[in-house]
Amino acid sequence: MKEWTALLVSHTHWDREWYRTFQGFRRLLVRLTDRLLSIMESNPRYKYFVFDGQTIVLEDYLEIRPENEERLKSLVQAGRLHIGPWYVLPDEFLVSGESLVRNLLIGHLISEKFGRTMKVGYLPDPFGHVAQLPQILQGFGIKSFMFHRGLGDEWDNIRSTEFWWEGLDGSKVLAIYQIHGYCNAAGIGYEPAFGEPGTVKVDFDIALQRVKAEIEDLKKYASTRYLLLNNGCDHLEPQPELPDMIDYINSKLEDVEVVHSKFEELVEKILSENPKLGIIKGELHWGRYHPLLLGVFSTRLYLKQENFRTQIALEKYAEPLCSLAYLKGKPYEGAFLLKAWKYLISNHPHDSICGCSVDEVHRDMLPRFAAARQIADIHFEEAANFIVRQIGVKKEGAQAGVVVFNPHSWVVSDIAKVHIEYPVSPDRTIRNIVVRDETGKVVLSQLQNVKITPPRHPHPLNQLVWECDLAILAENVPPLGYKTYYIEEVREPRRLSSLLEATPTSLENAYIRVDVNPNGTIDITDKRSGQVYKGCNLFEDTEDIGDEYNYSPAINSQTITSAGAKANISLIERGPVSATIKVEMILYLPAEIEEGRTSRSKEFVACPITSYITLPAGQIPRVDIETIIENRAKDHRLRVHFPTNLYANEVIADVQYGVIRRKIQIPKGEGWIEKPVGTKAMQSFVALESRGLGLCVVSEGLPEYEAIDTPNGVELALTLLRSVGWLSRGDLLTRPYNAGPQYPTPEAQCLGTHKVRYAIIPFVNSFEDAKPWVLAHQFNAPLKPIITLPHEGTLPEEFSLLRIEPQELVLSALKKAEKEDALVLRFYNIASYEVDGKITFTEVPKKVVLANLLEEDQEELNAEKELEVKVKPFQIITLKLYY
């Protein structure tokens, strides 16, 4: 036996869309797969091929070649063609934790139909890796992880291509670092190496020299006698000469045997040696050895917003309501919801959701988001109306009922908004409305956007339509359930005190006071502590000579802020449910970067910015902001700032299935391939705490933030817009080399109107004591009301399916199981300490089973009205409920 074994794994890395459209790359995919089938069926010595860890490629291929499905199945079942475990290879930071789980779940479902799933956490090219991925992989029975991007200085203590990677909860997987990338043996023996088979010169001696050189370098970092040669790269076809080439190489090498192999065998061989390996903990998100391309967090932000809203529509509304309706007798439309997830996840590859492709690619993404959203919305409405029709909604004097659904696992008191319409005669158009709860108590309500419109279907053609948005301060809406309210028309309006005060320049509720300054910034006073956060909502704009991958300032950088703006400030709503101040300003920005790309142009354009600053009534310490930007400038980055006057060394960022504490001070990065930058990714919020005070900034689909250390404390910045005109360039100050083809992408300038939503939550005590994530999740997944006419019914006016306590346990999913008649309930511990959890059921399940993420049974639990469960820090819990 030779001293070393080099496992040569044939594969292709399939970017489904990038510098070509999906259809352009599919043409190549069909050609590749046709040739692959021919090679593998005609030559049994060509043993294995890995289809990039994906399964969507099979769907894409079989739409064109359906007659070849059995041929593919035969190779998969023989263990020669390796597919899965993913549906697509996703960008991990820009999608939700639940999206990552569904991606793997769908990948397994498809792989199982073909006969086998590759059980390797294969992620060769995403731009870094999230901290909870080890736990997610382990939840699918996957004990390994293969990657090449993300390492920083922490690898100094490892210096091995194998180590244990540990997630936030302590889960570990074997990490295999593709130190020279996933193409280190691509096109061996070919001239040119990336040429098309049959059109290139084949030279076995060239193959020998390449393999020999690569092996000698890999030996320096190996923890065992096994080495990895990746025989493939982006869109590369299989090499039919490979078996003969391997025989020739083996005849020339004295201490190394090269074998045609598969990733699963590499994992098995390494583990069989039981090597002593180092440990790296937490997210892998540095660019010391390979570029991370961190500007993608803010490229084409409209895509991130659409993705975020679609995830919310599926995770928080469609699936939970369909689950509740399923228990009340409605068939669960799992096929529709699965199709919605497929539409959504097909937008999650890094070249797609990151926004770093040609313009045509990103135009193609929008209909997929729309289709997923339409399915989600339709099925939420169907399920909600199915439930509403069974509720007894009838009170004397009530003209209509409003059933408010709560998608969270805790009791919610917040604003619920519903659109209402009444047909009215021309001489009777004004209505006064009062809202009561089920006990008859009048609750705070407010009419917004009242208008009279011409008659239209389904209203009578001889009547006008009186319509408005009705805002209700809905209190104590039960978790994963609903509460019913009643609308009455009254002669005289009833005014209730709400402890909400408003002037043309100030808003104040029980906890918060907001003062609007002449330049449009706001000062927020937390009345509980007396702390004032001055100058929030300051806009800052700097040039961007970068590309879709990276932000870059110019040599002669120029920053413009709204500090000197003269804002037009007006009070447009004054309660009692909420009060809103409208702030209008114009930022005059350089039109674009000048020709030499060293400074901004001297021509300026007016970019209007309008912010609607809203404070809810009651005890809700949250300031909600909607900002509308008219972008008429190119080559720039627009951010909004929140000075905190707090001093801290770290921030707390919302990530997949938890939060992570990130140091504000970043490494210097001397000699790194890509130097560190301050901009980072979050899911929905970032928070800062210091000496019993804190500030949390929440966003709806705006993932990029930066924590900036200043002499006056830490300032949080949220990116609202980034405008660039190139897929890639090689002349950036932040990355002086190309990361892709240098194609123009004029639509990435994002000209036009952009609407963004974000919120500010001051808090007292520590982050974990104050629990600002509760209001953050309620901001992004608000109460959802359905209006209905009075009717009889058997269901109660108020109902909760179940309640999860304490609030450290955050709901992630409520859905029907994929393969059986059970509901899947998933939640996670957002805290850094163990929690004694309790689930209180209104209707006790017949059986409760602890499951893994693949929905496989792990342990049967006691089915009781109150189910107690200990949850470790950042642990994900999946239960199956049988009713």
Q: State mean pLDDT over 58-63.
A: 98
CA–CA distance from 736 to each of 247, 289, 543, 667, 732 (Å)? 41, 15, 17, 19, 5
What pLDDT band is residue 496 in, cutting at 50, 70 and 90?
A: confident
Rounded to 10 degrees, the C-alpha dihedral 92/94/98/99 comes to -80
At residue 526, does pLDDT exceed 90? yes
pLDDT digits (tens, 9 = 90+) for 313-330: 999 999 999 999 999 999
pLDDT digits (tens, 9 = 90+) for 534-575: 999 999 999 999 999 999 999 999 999 999 999 999 999 998
Q: Which two tokens stand for residue 822?
A: 């059970």
Residue 33: predicted pLDDT: 98
The secondary element (H helix, E strand) that includes residue 109 is helix 97-114
Residue 499: predicted pLDDT: 83
Q: Which residue, among 396, 402, 397, 401, has the nearest Cα to 415 in the 3D structure?
A: 402
Q: Which two tokens stand for residue 230?
A: 């990746």
Can you tell me the distance from the alpha carbon of 439 to that of 188, in angstroms, rounded to the nearest whole number?
77
Tell me what the pLDDT averaged over the chain comes to.
Answer: 96
Can you tell me the distance from the alpha carbon of 696 to that of 855, in angstroms, rounded to the nearest whole number?
35
Whether 703 and 639 have beta carbons less than 8 Å apart is answered as: no
Q: State mean pLDDT over 99-116.
A: 98
Helix (H, G, I), strand (E, B) or coil at 533: strand
Can you tell me the distance from the alpha carbon of 622 to that of 514, in angstroms, rounded to the nearest whole number?
10
What pLDDT band is residue 430 in, cutting at 50, 70 and 90?
A: low
Which ranges of 702-844 does DSSP label H, i.e. alpha helix? 767-770, 773-780
Long-range contacts of 454-459 (CB under 8 A, 24+ apart): 455/423, 459/421, 459/423
Can you tell me the distance from the alpha carbon of 881 to that of 477, in angstroms, rounded to the nearest whole number?
23
Residue 761: predicted pLDDT: 98
Residue 197: predicted pLDDT: 83
At residue 1, does pLDDT exceed 90? no
pLDDT digits (tens, 9 = 90+) for 737-764: 999 999 999 999 999 999 999 999 999 9
Q: Which single residue is written with the structure tokens 């190549």? A: 28
At residue 462, does pLDDT exceed 80? no
Q: Which two tokens stand for residue 653?
A: 């960022």
Q: Which two tokens stand for residue 678?
A: 């301050």
What pLDDT band is residue 497 in, cutting at 50, 70 and 90?
A: confident
Burial of 221 (0-12, 13-18, 19+ CB in 10 A): middle
Q: Which two tokens stand for residue 441?
A: 């108590």
Whether 82 and 118 have beta carbons less than 8 Å apart is answered as: yes
Residue type, 742: Q
Residue 428: predicted pLDDT: 64
Residue 498: predicted pLDDT: 77
Which ranges of 538-695 does DSSP label H, i.e. alpha helix? none
At residue 432, does pLDDT exceed 90? no
Q: Which single residue is written with the structure tokens 């869109």? A: 235
Q: Which two tokens stand for residue 794?
A: 């058997």
What pLDDT band is residue 645 in, cutting at 50, 70 and 90?
A: very high
Q: State mean pLDDT over 495-509.
A: 89
Residues of the chain with pLDDT > 70, as a percent, come to 99
Can you tell me the distance from the alpha carbon of 586 to that of 562, in angstroms, rounded to the nearest whole number?
9
Strands 162-166, 121-122: pairing kind: unpaired
Q: State mean pLDDT over 189-199.
A: 87
Q: Which two tokens stand for residue 47?
A: 């043993």
Angle at 192 between CA 188 and CA 193, to 5 degrees: 30
pLDDT digits (tens, 9 = 90+) for 849-865: 999 999 999 999 999 99
Can you tell me the distance from the alpha carbon of 164 to that of 277, in angstroms, rounded to the nearest whole number?
6
At residue 456, does pLDDT exceed 80? no
